[in-house]
Chains A and B, each alone.
Chain A
Amino acid sequence: MELQTVTYLIVGLSFALYLGIAFWARAGSTSEFYVAGGGVNPVMNGMATAADWMSAASFISMAGLISNMGYGGAVFLMGWTGGYVLLAMLLAPYLRKFGKFTVPEFIGDRFYSKGARTIAVVCLLVASITYIIGQMTGVGVAFSRFLGVTKEMGIYIGMAIVFAYAVFGGMKGITYTQVAQYIVLILAYTVPAVFISLNLTGNPFPQLGLGSDFAGTDGALLAKLDQVVTELGFPQYTTSSRGDMLNMFSYTVSLMIGTAGLPHVIVRFFTVPKVSDARASAGWALVFIAILYTTAPAVGAMAKLNLHATVNTAVKGGGDLFAAENSIKYDERPDWMKRWEVTGLLKFDDKNGDGRIQYYNDATKNEAVKAKSDAAGWKGNELSVNADIIVLANPEIALLPNWVIALVAAGGLAAALSTAAGLLMAISSAVSHDLIKGVFNPEISEKSELFAGKVSMGVAVFVAGYLGLNPPGFAAGTVALAFGIAASSLFPAILMGIFSKRMNSAGAIAGMIAGLSATLFYVFAHTGIMFIKGTEFVELVGGKNGWFGIEPNAIGTVGAIVNFVVAYVVCKVTAPPPAHISELVESIRIPKGAGAATGH
């Protein structure tokens, strides 16, 4: 069958499945709408959390990022998994025991303040909306690349599908479609990886393959990769990192506590029946996430070596990388390169006019490499490769059948849609439950609140679609900002709410505002106020990366420290919280007596 036909078939089947689940899992009460009735099995919730968590970026871009960054890519691997340890031990069980519907509701009740709740809602909305822009553009890109429709049409189709199950099913519909989406996306990710690993190392497990010998030689794959890339003037794969150790440290912390503080992830743990289920569910979530996250570094490294081996026969043959006959002739390049050249993600430019592809780092500072490439008559790097190809073209590079390529398309879409739906849920419950019921109209009936929830969800879908169609100039890099916001505002507030009985309303509010301001101040110093070009004030923070050499993406850590310190100091000089708050904290610390989550 033609690739296009198979792709339509497999993607169409997966969409039919999601819509079928949407019809079956309609929400009839606010409890079903906000927390899926509180009766989700912990394993299922783990899968749903994994799909919720792993976005278009995790699926399509992460392996490519790691491939480009080498060792330094570990900040994403450790940051986006290590946060689950914090979530499982420090937040999830206690928030589940608290037994309400949303994160701002906890902050509002624990700090006995509508002001605190409103600040939490603002942090939640900013973090979730910046995050969702990336998902909607991801949906558009995935559709246009795989199904040959325009990016706009792709976003419309995506909106229609999400609308169907998110508006009618709420959390219940989203949870069960996410389970199905997890299965689609994990198959799509691992099947090509297994074949690549078999090809390159003879080991079917990519995690083990990455530590094995390069097939046909008696040297380790990673050693071979290090040798090839350094000879070609690139930094050594297994040691190259971005910025210094402190920057890497700070980046990892920021992603970890940001992960633990992202509301669309936290609310997933409100859907299980018991406190012990919330703990186990975090464990299951990490199992399902780890399958992808331990495969990604193998895919990244193997694809890199594979690419070098494809364009330079000396990589496998062991000859001189700079010998003229070892660079492959452009006319003899494999078919998959031809196909991806059409998309513009892969570009060849024959700078020295010899009809062969020379792929190396022409900006290297290594004089020996420069001398060798000059002597060989190389006039600059001739191949540019977009990082996203690493996952998207993987099945073609490994010469896998068409149905695997189609499966990757369905997987990319599943990853983007499931994350978008989770974010929409967090946004709409913050509006209908925290703002409408919590702040403006506490007397609202359950039926009206459910209706308000569905309307907010519908509006949120359209806002997200609009932002996906007309991405603001600052769209790139906003996902990192979402982590910075969650890390510097929500995570510290929730943590102190559980672990410190003495923390009071004034301290928590001052801490959230200070942490958030510090983070935004530093980010805006680099990117301009509200990301408007020309309003940067980087000299005020001591130049680019002026605070200890930390890049703006990694600043959430500093924001969190500011939050903790300010909260502690303000709390010391203001009155302790009332007695019923101490009792509330006592009660959330103990699992016994956890009922189903309620909104009252």
Chain B
Amino acid sequence: MNDSKGYWAATLSLLSKILVVWFLASYGAGILFAPALNTIHLGGYPLGFFFAQQGSIWVFLALIWYYTKKMGEIDRAFGVSED
């Protein structure tokens, strides 16, 4: 199958989804909404502080691995994988 437009559209749609989560976890929960989230507690962590100094990093990790897995699937679906 030679559908480079479809492949690129699928890639961009995956990227935008991931970037939305990336933004919400760091700039959203860690900065913009941190004061509000600090009224909630996760164990001993105020939630906004948790996202700023721990949670955002865990989310970043999950996002990269999700991206790697999904891109592999998209590569294979469009027949452009390297294997």
Q: Chain A: residues with CB nearer than 8 A to chain B?
A: 66, 71, 73-74, 77-78, 81-82, 84-85, 88-90, 93, 207-208, 210-213, 220-223, 238-239, 245, 248-249, 252, 274-276, 279-280, 282-283, 286-287, 290, 293-294, 297, 586, 589-594
Additional A-B contacts beyond A78-B57, A239-B35, A252-B31 (4; CB < 8 A): A71-B53, A210-B54, A245-B31, A590-B7
Chain B residues with CB under 8 A of A81: 56-57, 60
Are B60 and A211 touching (Cβ within 8 A)? no
Q: How far is the CA of A589 from the CA of B15 in the complex (A)?
A: 13
Give the residue among A66, A73, A88 with the most B Cβ atoms within 10 A: A88
Query: In the complex the two chains form, what is the Cα distance from A186 to B26 in whole Å?
Result: 25
Residues of B within 8 A of A211 (CB): 42-45, 50, 54
Query: Quick check: A238 and B46 within 8 Å, CB to CB?
Result: yes
- List of B residues within 8 angstroms of A207 by Cβ: 54
State whether A586 touches B27 (Cβ < 8 A): no
In the complex formed, the residue of B with least CB distance to A249 is B31
Asked if B40 is at the interface of the complex by the 8 Å CB criterion, the answer is no
Complex: A213 Cα to B44 Cα, angstroms: 7
> Judging by beta carbons under 8 Å apart, are A85 and B60 in contact?
yes
CA distance A88 to B44 in the complex (A): 33
Q: Which residue of A lies closest to B26 (CB)?
A: A78
Q: Is B13 an interface residue (CB 8 A)?
A: no
Contact between chains at A85 and B63 (CB < 8 Å): yes
Question: Given contacts A211-B42, A592-B81, is CB(A286)–CB(B61) below 8 Å?
Answer: yes
Say yes or no: A77-B52 contact (C-beta < 8 A), given A89-B15, A275-B82. yes
Q: How far is the CA of A78 from the CA of B49 in the complex (A)?
A: 12
- Are B38 and A293 in contact, CB atoms less than 8 angstroms apart? no
B residues less than 8 Å from A74 (CB atoms): 30-31, 52-53, 56
A297 close to B54 (CB less than 8 A) = yes
> Nearest Cβ distance between residue A435 and chain B, in whole angstroms?
32
> Which of A74, A248, A297 has the most chain B CB atoms inside 10 A of its CB?
A74
Q: Mark B59-72, 1 if CB is under 8 A from A, else 0.
A: 01101110110011
Q: How many residues of B contact A (CB 8 A)?
A: 44
Nearest B residue (CB) for A289: B57
Q: Using an 8 Å CB-CB cutoff, how does the interface string of B15-45 with A read, 1 for contact, 0 for none?
A: 1001100100011001110110010011111
Residues of chain A contacted by B82 (CB below 8 angstroms) = 274-276, 591-594
User: Is A287 a contact partner of B61 (Cβ separation < 8 A)?
Assistant: yes
- In the complex, what residue of chain A is closest to B27 when comparing beta carbons? A249
Question: Please, which residues of chain B bring their CB within 8 A of the CB of A73?
Answer: 53
B27 to chain A, nearest CB (A): 6
Given the interface contacts A78-B56, A589-B8, does A248 sit within 8 Å of B64 by beta carbon? no
Q: What are 23 of the A-B contact pairs (CB < 8 Å)?
A: A74-B31, A78-B30, A78-B57, A82-B22, A82-B26, A85-B63, A85-B64, A88-B67, A208-B43, A210-B44, A210-B53, A211-B42, A220-B41, A220-B43, A222-B46, A223-B44, A239-B35, A245-B32, A249-B31, A274-B82, A279-B64, A590-B7, A593-B82
Asked whether, in the complex, the Cβ of A212 is within 8 Å of the Cβ of B4, the reply is: no
Q: Within 8 Å CB of B11, what residues of A?
A: 589
For B71, the closest partner residue in chain A by CB is: A279
On chain A, the residues within 8 Å of B71 by CB distance are 93, 276, 279
Report Cα–Cα, A211/B47, bound state, in Å: 10
Task: State whether A586 and B43 are in contact (beta carbons under 8 Å apart), knowing that A82-B26, A591-B75, A591-B82 are contacts in the complex.
Answer: no
Contact residues in B for A88 (Cβ distance below 8 Å): 64, 67-68
B80 part of interface (Cβ distance < 8 Å): yes
Instruction: Report the Cα distance A252→B25, complex, angstroms.
Output: 13
* Minimum CB–CB distance for A58 against chain B, Å: 14
**Contact A248–B65 (Cβ < 8 Å):** no
Q: Which residues of B contact A279 (CB under 8 A)?
A: 64, 67-68, 71
A593 to chain B, nearest CB (A): 8
Q: Which residue of A lies closest to B74 (CB)?
A: A591
Who on chain B is nearest to A587 by CB? Answer: B4
- From residue A28, how far is it (CB to closest CB) to chain B in Å? 27
Chain B residues contacting A210 (CB-CB under 8 Å) are 44-45, 53-54
Q: Are A222 and B53 in contact (CB under 8 A)?
A: no
CA distance A213 to B41 in the complex (A): 13
Tell me which of A71, A223, A290 contacts B52 (CB under 8 A): A71
Q: How far is the CB of A416 from chain B (nearest CB, A)?
A: 23
Q: Which listed residue (A252, A274, A275, A594) contacts B27, Cβ 8 A?
A: A252
- Tell me whether A84 and B75 are in contact (CB under 8 A): no
- Report the bound CA distance from A212 to B42 in whole Å: 10
Which chain B residue has the least Cβ–Cβ distance from A253? B27
**Do A238 and B49 touch across chains, with their CB atoms under 8 A apart?**
yes
Contacts A212-B44, A297-B54; A239 near B49 (Cβ below 8 A): yes
Contact B30 A90 (CB under 8 A): no
A499 to B75, CA, bound (A): 18
Chain B residues within 8 Å of A274, by CB: 82
Query: Measured between C-beta atoms, what is the minimum distance from B39 to chain A in Å?
Result: 11
